[in-house]
């Protein structure tokens, strides 16, 4: 069986305890690889390696850092097929989506290679003195990531961290560490000094906690559940550690009476169900104007019927299995709760039938109508393939409902009127608004949450700033 070890100080190493775990394919439960499982002591060794590499990497000129990051992007592209196959095998997503994820991770390295060169300072003069303002790397960064996009979400951190001059220790998700580890290995192989890039496997409560609490790490960049984000924020507080938190979402999708319904239905089906709804900016709540509700719902069901579900390694599959039985059980529970409270099941709501699905965590994409805010699907993050529909009369009401949540990551509005789009966009409480578009991710623009969806921003130049400290040098006359 394939072995996956950790990466510490430029070397592939087993954990100090020698413990290993088997990673299984969520499509059929077959073993994929054996992974080395570390603990607090392994995390400490990785942090020490990153600390030793920091002076070397942070003093490497940004032009040279950019060359290495471009080389890393090329190496990730060269190894993309292998990394993508591992990603599908451990996470379940269709291979075409896994390829896109890995290639997009390479693009993030290219983007930050260039953005790092633009880390300019300032020169300020006054009558008494001159001031120089420098933007310097914050130090060793701990990068902690979830299983739904284990490569991309890590690349959003690795790129800016290295471009800023930081060294890092990554902690991939325990149940899907393979592709992320191979991604960092490719980055390391591109010519980084030993110890600049490290990966430690192991439980969040041990390895993750050590990365948060150990004073060697000066910055925590975390993507994951809001509950874990709260824990990290509380435990980083003792050292006033820099933190970036990308947390859960409960994204609304508003369909106005003047929307292009064909386009809106296609966009909604894709964003509600791709990656089996296991995306932080998935469509979680659909608000449709009364006058177009019937037509929109029909189109949404038609679009959904066309989605092909199966083992992600098969060609032409649109949806793979869910990541785990726990995720599937939560989805079942949320659907049952909605039905018990009066929702109507229009599509899905159960596992697909047939021998091909018997051993995997499959679940049909699910559409519910008659949803309201008493239901869990409308209040909690389902993180599953469920699109609950609720009707509204006036846009003000839709915006109010959309904001009636503790989350604020993304929101979507479909309309053909600019005034309506601006009215809603300016009032929706979310870090990103998609107007007539179902993705709010753009490498050059900031991504992050309002309210309990997070703190700080990734992507764009904002993503680089998260790894920099400001220093003022005052020169006397
Ligand atoms: P978790 O919060 O459970 O885990 C995320 C990572 O944190 C894992 O590597 C986990 O390790 C680690 N971890 C767990 N406990 C601790 C701890 N005490 N200290 C440090 N690290 C810890 O999230 P999931 O993996 O379940 O991911 C799903 C969640 O991620 C959803 O809520 C989703 O909305 C959110 N997400 C947010 C995004 C955003 O950009 N806002 C994007 C994508 C997902 P281990 O695997 O060992 O438990």
Interval between CA 324 and ligand 1 midpoint (Å): 14
Please name which of 262, 276, 247 lies closest in space to residue 387, comparing C-alpha atoms. 276
Q: Which residues line ligand 1 (CB under 6 A)?
A: 144-149, 153, 171, 173-174, 203-205, 208-209, 212, 223-225, 228, 231-232, 246-249, 280, 381, 383, 409, 449, 453-454
Q: Average pLDDT of 30-38?
A: 98
Asked if the model's pLDDT at residue 344 lies above 90, the reply is yes
Nearest atom in ligand 1 to the alpha carbon of residue 247 is: 41
* Mean pLDDT computed over every residue of the chain: 98
Q: Which of 91, 225, 271, 459 should be mutated for ligand 1, with most atoms under 8 A from CB?
A: 225
pLDDT on residue 131: 96
Asked if the model's pLDDT at residue 477 lies above 90, the reply is no
E strand residue ranges, 75-190: 122-125, 129-137, 140-144, 168-171
Q: Average pLDDT of 314-320?
A: 96
Assign 433 to helix, strand or coil: strand
Choosing from 280, 381, 458, 465, the catalytic residue is 280
pLDDT on residue 128: 87
246 is known as an active-site residue: yes
Q: What letter would DSSP give residue 208?
A: I
Residues 6+ apart with CB under 8 A from 123: 130, 131, 132, 133
What strand order describes the sheet that includes 283-289? 344-347, 366-369, 386-392, 283-289, 251-255, 410-414, 432-435
| Angstrom distance (rounded) from CA 101 to CA 278 | 14
Interval between CA 28 and ligand 1 midpoint (Å): 24
pLDDT on residue 218: 98
Q: Average pLDDT of 268-287?
A: 98
Tell me the pLDDT tens digit for each residue of 383-417: 999 999 999 999 999 999 999 999 999 999 999 99
Phi, psi of 347 (to 5 degrees): -160, 145
Interval between CA 222 and ligand 1 midpoint (Å): 7
Please name which of 173, 254, 225 lies closest in space to residue 452, comparing C-alpha atoms. 225
256 is known as an active-site residue: no
Nearest atom in ligand 1 to the alpha carbon of residue 453 is: 41
Matching residue, tokens 């949450």: 449
| Angstrom distance (rounded) from CA 366 to CA 13 | 44
Dihedral (CA of 26, 29, 32, 35) sign: positive
Q: Which of 146, 156, 202 should be mutated for ligand 1, with most atoms under 8 A from CB?
A: 146
Interval between CA 131 and ligand 1 midpoint (Å): 42
Q: Average pLDDT of 227-249?
A: 98
Choosing from 246, 380, 381, 465, the catalytic residue is 246
For 251-442, which CATH superfamily applies?
A: Aldehyde Dehydrogenase; Chain A, domain 2 (3.40.309.10)
Interval between CA 459 and ligand 1 midpoint (Å): 19
Asked if the model's pLDDT at residue 293 lies above 90, the reply is yes
Angle at 140 between CA 137 and CA 146, to 5 degrees: 110
Q: Average pLDDT of 100-124?
A: 97
Residue 345 confidence class, pLDDT cut points 50, 70, 90: very high
Q: Average pLDDT of 30-59?
A: 98
Please name which of 213, 214, 244 lies closest in space to residue 454, comparing C-alpha atoms. 244
Tell me the pLDDT tens digit for each residue of 425-459: 999 999 999 999 999 999 999 999 999 999 999 99
pLDDT on residue 84: 98
Interval between CA 257 and ligand 1 midpoint (Å): 38
What's this model's pTM, rounded to 2 decimal places? 0.97
Is 390:371 a contact under the CB 8 Å cutoff? yes
Asked if the model's pLDDT at residue 377 lies above 90, the reply is yes
Tokens at 345, concatenated: 């099941």
Please name which of 162, 169, 149, 145 lies closest in space to residue 111, comparing C-alpha atoms. 162
Please name which of 268, 57, 322, 40 lies closest in space to residue 166, comparing C-alpha atoms. 57
Cα–Cα distances in Å, from 241 out to 116, 235, 282, 453?
22, 9, 30, 19
For 2-247+453-476, which CATH superfamily applies?
A: Aldehyde Dehydrogenase; Chain A, domain 1 (3.40.605.10)
pLDDT on residue 166: 98
Cα 302 off chain centre by: 29
Asked if the model's pLDDT at residue 335 lies above 90, the reply is yes
pLDDT on residue 216: 98
Nearest atom in ligand 1 to the alpha carbon of residue 280 is: 34
Nearest atom in ligand 1 to the alpha carbon of residue 209 is: 19
Matching residue, tokens 């809001």: 226
Tell me the pLDDT tens digit for each residue of 208-221: 999 999 999 999 99
To the nearest whole percent, how much of the chain has pLDDT over 70?
A: 100
The domain spans of the chain are: 2-247+453-476, 251-442
pLDDT on residue 127: 81
């Amino acid at each position: 069986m394939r072995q996956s070890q950790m990466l510490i100080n430029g070397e592939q190493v087993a954990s100090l305890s020698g413990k290993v775990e088997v990673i299984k394919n969520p499509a059929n439960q077959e073993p994929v690889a054996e992974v080395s499982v570390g603990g607090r002591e392994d995390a400490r060794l990785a942090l020490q390696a990153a600390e030793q590499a920091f002076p070397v990497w942070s003093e490497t000129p940004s032009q040279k850092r950019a060359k290495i990051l471009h080389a890393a992007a090329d190496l990730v592209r060269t190894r993309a097929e292998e990394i993508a196959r591992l990603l599908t095998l451990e996470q379940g997503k269709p291979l075409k989506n896994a390829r896109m994820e890995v290639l997009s991770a390479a693009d993030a390295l290219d983007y930050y290679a260039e953005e790092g060169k633009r880390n300019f300072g300032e020169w300020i003069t006054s009558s008494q003195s001159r001031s120089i303002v420098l933007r310097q790397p914050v130090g060793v960064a701990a990068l902690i990531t979830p299983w739904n996009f284990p490569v991309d979400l890590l690349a959003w951190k690795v790129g800016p961290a290295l471009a800023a001059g930081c060294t890092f220790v990554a902690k991939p998700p325990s149940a899907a560490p393979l592709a992320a580890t191979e991604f960092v290995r490719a980055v390391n192989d591109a010519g980084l000094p030993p110890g600049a890039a490290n990966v430690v496997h192991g439980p969040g409560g041990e390895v993750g906690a050590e990365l948060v609490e150990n004073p060697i790490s000066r910055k925590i960049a975390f993507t994951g559940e809001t509950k874990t984000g709260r824990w990290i924020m509380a435990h980083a507080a003792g050292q006033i550690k820099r933190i970036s938190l990308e947390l859960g979402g409960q994204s609304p999708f508003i369909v106005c009476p003047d929307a292009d319904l064909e386009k809106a239905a296609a966009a909604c089906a894709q964003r509600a169900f791709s990656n089996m709804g296991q995306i932080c900016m998935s469509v979680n709540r659909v608000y449709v104007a009364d006058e177009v509700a019937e037509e929109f719902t029909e189109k949404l069901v038609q679009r959904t019927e066309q989605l092909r579900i199966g083992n992600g390694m098969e060609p032409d599959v649109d949806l793979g299995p869910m990541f785990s039985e726990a995720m599937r059980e939560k989805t079942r529970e949320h659907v049952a709760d909605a039905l018990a409270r009066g929702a109507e099941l229009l599509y899905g709501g159960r596992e697909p039938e047939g021998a091909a699905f018997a051993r995997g965590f499959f679940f049909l994409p699910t559409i519910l109508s008659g949803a309201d805010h008493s239901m869990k699907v409308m209040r909690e993050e389902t993180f599953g393939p469920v699109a609950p529909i609720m009707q509204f009369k006036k846009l003000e009401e839709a915006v109010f409902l959309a904001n009636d949540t503790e989350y604020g990551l993304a929101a979507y509005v479909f309309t053909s009127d600019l005034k309506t789009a601006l009215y809603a966009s300016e009032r929706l409480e979310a870090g990103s608004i998609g107007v007539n578009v179902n993705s709010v991710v753009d490498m050059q623009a900031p991504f992050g949450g309002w309210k309990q969806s997070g703190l700080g921003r990734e992507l764009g130049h904002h993503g680089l700033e998260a790894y920099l400290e400001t220093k003022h040098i005052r020169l006397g006359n």
